[in-house]
């Protein structure tokens, strides 16, 4: 079975590296992007199985990225997990059709379990 491909989009470079290492150690292929624009480009070109997306980024926030992903036929069905420091925004994420959201800082074990659940739903 081929490795599941996950795109991590966050402008915190250290966090992206940490998440990448954690996911790779669990057997996933990981792509990274440090801005919303880069994330959109990689999502369209690479067709990942899942996108892990930060909401608050400088150049283009995560909400705009989600809207643009949903507008494109190639990316509209890719599940998205939001990575955020804002726990109180759950209902808004649900309205946007987000698969899950993870509040920073997170426990690595919980993080990997939630990623696994979303990918299993998509099979």
Q: What is the pTM of this model?
A: 0.91
Q: pLDDT by residue for the chain (123 residues), tens digit each? A: 679 999 999 999 999 999 999 999 999 999 999 999 999 999 999 999 999 999 889 889 998 999 999 999 999 999 999 988 776 666 666 666 788 888 888 898 999 999 999 998 767
pLDDT for residue 95: 61
5-122 CATH = 3.40.50.2300
Segments making up each domain of the chain, as ranges: 5-122
What pLDDT score does 84 carry? 83
How far, in Å, are 1, 27, 81, 113, 123 from residue 62 at the CA level?
A: 31, 26, 11, 22, 25
Q: How far apart are the first and last CA of the chain?
A: 12
Task: Tell me the two tokens of residue 123.
Answer: 């099979």
Show the tokens assigned to 82.
Answer: 């939001």
């Amino acid at each position: 079975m081929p490795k599941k491909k996950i795109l991590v989009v966050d402008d915190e470079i250290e966090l992206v590296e940490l998440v990448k290492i954690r996911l790779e150690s669990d057997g996933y292929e990981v792509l990274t992007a440090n801005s919303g624009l880069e994330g959109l480009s990689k999502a369209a070109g690479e067709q990942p199985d899942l996108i892990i997306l930060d909401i608050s980024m400088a150049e283009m926030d995560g909400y705009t990225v989600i809207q643009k992903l949903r507008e494109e036929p190639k990316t509209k069905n890719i599940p998205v997990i939001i990575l955020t420091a804002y726990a109180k925004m759950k209902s808004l994420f649900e309205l946007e059709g987000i698969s899950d959201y993870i509040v920073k800082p997170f426990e690595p074990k919980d993080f990997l379990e939630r990623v696994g659940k979303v990918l299993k739903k998509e099979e």
